[in-house]
Amino acid sequence: MNKIKMGYGVYKLARYYCDYLWDKITLAVVLISIAVVVNFADAIKVILPVNCVSLVIVIQVLYVGVRNVIEVVRKSRRIMGW
């Protein structure tokens, strides 16, 4: 049951990416985060005992969160007239 929920969550994140966030900046963040994790996988494993794929997913979730905060701030400033 947890795998189904996790798969659904990944699907929803992918749909959100395609609908709202897919631009050149997002592509650069995805490629750079994957490149950094792949190139420094051994050093990361020494410091943090985590799976590299899950580390990339966490980085992407954080990126989506930061983008959402930026969009909310922009919209609120437009509404207030700043």
Task: Render pLDDT for 30-58 as a digit per residue (tens, 0 to 9).
Answer: 889 889 988 988 888 888 888 888 888 88
Summarised one tens digit per residue, pLDDT across range 52-75 is 888 888 888 898 889 889 888 988
What is the DSSP code string of 54-75?
HHHHHHHHHHHHHHHHHHHHHH
Domain-located, residue 10: no
Number of domains in the chain: 1
38 lies in which domain range?
Answer: 23-80
Domain-located, residue 18: no
Q: How does residue 20 score in pLDDT terms, banded at 50, 70 and 90?
A: confident
User: Model pTM?
Assistant: 0.68
Domain-located, residue 71: yes
For the record, the structure tokens of 49 come out as 């005992």
- Rounded to whole angstroms, what are the CA distances from 44 to 14, 32, 50, 57, 81? 26, 15, 8, 15, 45
Residue 37 contacts residue 53 (beta carbons within 8 Å) = no
Domain-located, residue 68: yes
Domain-located, residue 55: yes
**Identity of the amino acid at 32:** I
Q: What is the pLDDT of residue 22?
A: 76
